[in-house]
Amino acid sequence: MILKKIGQFILATLFVGITHAQTKNSISKKLTSELQQISANGNLVGFSVAIVNEDGTLYENGFGFADKKANKKYTENTLQNIGSISKTFIGVALLKAQELGKLTLDDPINDYLPFKVVHPKFKNTPITIRQLASHTSGIKDPAEYEGKGYILKDAENGAAKVNANFRDPSKMMPHGDYLKAILSTDGQWYKKKTFFKYPPGGMFNYSNIGAGLAAYVLEQATGESFPEFTKKHIFDPLDMNGSGWSFDTIDFSKHSKLYVDADTELAFYTLINYPDGGLITSAHDLAKYLSEIIKGYGGNGTILSAKSYKELFTPQLTDENHKDRSDREYNDEYNMGVFMGMSSKGQIGHTGGDPSVVTHMFFNENTKTGKLLLVNTDLDKESVQDFIAIWRALMAHEDQF
């Protein structure tokens, strides 16, 4: 009798498992069909998506083309830069460095920098690492951020379009020299107007330069380059084997071409201020990271301690730090953890954008389910509608797996 009941239990368990697998497969097919229809519009040359929870990746796929002329498909393993989602890696890295005793978030940045950065209107108020990480440092992105910060991969680019801000490879310079040129009083591009009228710790003002400076502070504090530090403490532990911060650290044959529109390729470029938006990764790799930070939010992460994860997600801003606060569901600037965006609707993550790159990555703090979208095409009036349609399709299916 006991053996019979055990057998019945095993059969029942197998049946439940088979039913769940069939349901998941059915949902995957439906979502894939919907995304294929959107891709068929042809407004977005290529894109990839993923849906995850704390147990791992539930769905991942790629659509369209990584190289339209060569008929090369865009897959979940296709690589591209992801824009400002990269900043969340700065946040995780800073908290790992704090765990290692290399810095604390409330340290003044000038404790570590080889050059001084001082707010010209508040010279006696030091800028802290935490203020950089919450975009309250008072540092503004000057014209040189775009005018000097984008560098062509190659001097010759054939028929590919060269953005007006893209500079010749000979103009590449070390990241620290670039920051010094903009932020140090003796820097060649220094201007007082690079700083807002608000004091450090005051108003929220999104700063790409401030983000890059935070990564540079980490380098000075740890004695390791930012790429080395993030590879050791984030990429390797999470098996993000295809990811890197430069073309020479990834398999370039898997990198997507980027598109100004459905028919125009954009020349490949890199960023001097690379930590703020230059991570090159895939939906497959980024899904592992998103799953990990969902685990971390629940206190079960592996690459940071529970204490560090709690700080990563602790809101740093109030109404006093904002002129106005949008309550859109995916507004990643409503509040900030440590370079971790938070909307008023319980969505945590970040958006990203660079020339011919548009990205979203968020998870729901209640359902602990997350999703991401990477696109290799600039958005116009038509393609933005397709981007929205993709995101809505992910929203409709994320809790069904």
**Inside any domain, residue 257:** yes
**Inside any domain, residue 8:** no
| Mean pLDDT (whole number) for 103-116 | 98
Q: Which residues of 179-194 are buried (b: 16+ CB within 10 A; e: fewer)?
A: bbbbbbeebebbeeeb
What pairs with residue 360 in β-bridges?
A: 351, 373
**Inside any domain, residue 145:** yes
36: three-class secondary structure by DSSP: helix
What pairs with residue 139 in β-bridges?
A: 195
CA atoms within 13 A on the CB side of 81: 24
The number of folded domains in the chain is 1
At 376, list the tokens. Answer: 């290799």
Tally helices (H) and strands (E) across the chain: 10, 14
Is 7 a residue whose pLDDT tops 70?
Answer: no
Per-residue pLDDT tens over the stretch 342-398: 999 999 999 999 999 999 999 999 999 999 999 999 999 999 999 999 999 999 999
Nearest CA-CA partner of 368 in 398, 341, 336: 398
* 310 CB-contact burial (10 Å; exposed 0-12 / middle 13-18 / buried 19+): middle
Full residue range of the structural domain in which residue 244 is found: 30-397
Q: Which amino acid belongs to residue 104?
A: T
CATH of the domain at 45: 3.40.710.10
Is 129 a residue whose pLDDT tops 70?
Answer: yes
What confidence score (pLDDT) does residue 323 get? 87
Contact 352, 28 (CB under 8 A): no
Q: Give dist(CA 286, CA 392) in Å, integer.
A: 20
| Mean pLDDT (whole number) for 189-195 | 97
DSSP string for residues in 338-396 = SS-EE-TTSEEEEEEEETTEEEEEEEETTT-EEEEEEE-B---TTHHHHHHHHHHHHHH
State what percent of residues in the chain have pLDDT above 90.
92
Per-residue pLDDT tens over the stretch 200-248: 999 999 999 999 999 999 999 999 999 999 999 999 999 999 999 999 9
What confidence score (pLDDT) does residue 5 get? 52
**Inside any domain, residue 342:** yes
**Inside any domain, residue 4:** no
Per-residue pLDDT tens over the stretch 302-349: 999 999 999 999 999 999 999 888 899 999 999 999 999 999 999 999
Per-residue pLDDT tens over the stretch 289-303: 999 999 999 999 999
**Inside any domain, residue 24:** no
Nearest CA-CA partner of 334 in 318, 352, 314, 310: 318
Residue 27: phi and psi, rounded to 5, are -65, -40
What pairs with residue 81 in β-bridges?
A: 280
**Averaged confidence pLDDT in the chain:** 95
Nearest CA-CA partner of 133 in 111, 110, 113, 104: 104
What pairs with residue 261 in β-bridges?
A: 264
Q: Give dist(CA 354, CA 115) in Å, integer.
A: 29
User: 280-281 and 347-354: which strand pairing?
Assistant: unpaired
Per-residue pLDDT tens over the stretch 257-289: 999 999 999 999 999 999 999 999 999 999 999
| Mean pLDDT (whole number) for 14-30 | 73
Note the pTM of the prediction, 2 decimals: 0.94
**Inside any domain, residue 18:** no
**Inside any domain, residue 383:** yes
Residues near 230 by beta carbon (within 8 Å), at least 6 away in sequence: 89, 93, 245
Is 12 a residue whose pLDDT tops 80?
Answer: no
In the DSSP assignment, the letter for residue 203 is S
